[in-house]
Amino acid sequence: MAKILVVDDASLIRMVAQKAILEAGHEAILAENGAQGVQMFQNTPVDFIFSDINMPVMGGFDMIREIKKLPGGSYIPIVMLTTESNDELKLVGRELGVKAWLLKPFNKEKFLLVIQKLCR
């Protein structure tokens, strides 16, 4: 069973992601913004992270930069879960080590496939 951190300011997205993660037999840990995501990562070992980009307090890219500075953070797989499809943002994500990019509203089957691939 994987522990998956979902970081998104939209409660509906967190709820739908959590439901899909639980149905797949994994544990979901939820955060409302990047600052909470960093705090959760520090307090709870996770196997990978789904994160939005645009959030109040701290956005997804800044969260990734902070997590990469922490013990174990440079190895954590991160998947962006966002409405952004801009190639420049995807390039920034790749430079930060983002493993995949899912567009919202996300397809549950694709979401579960990403989880399955990251759990290998």
Q: Which letter does DSSP use for residue 106 in this model? A: P
Mean pLDDT of each 10-residue bin along the chain, 120 residues long:
96 95 95 98 95 96 97 93 92 94 89 87
- Secondary element (H or E) of residue 92: helix 87-95
Look-up: residue for tokens 């190639």?
87
Write down the pLDDT at residue 119: 81
Tokens 């994994």: give the residue: 26
Please state the domain count of the chain.
1
Which pLDDT score is estimated for 105? 86
Question: DSSP of 9-78, one letter per residue?
Answer: S-HHHHHHHHHHHHHTT-EEEEESSHHHHHHHHHHS--SEEEE-S--SSS-HHHHHHHHHTSTTGGG--E
16 lies in which domain range? 3-118
Verdict on whether the full-model pTM lies above 0.85: yes
CATH number at residue 29: 3.40.50.2300
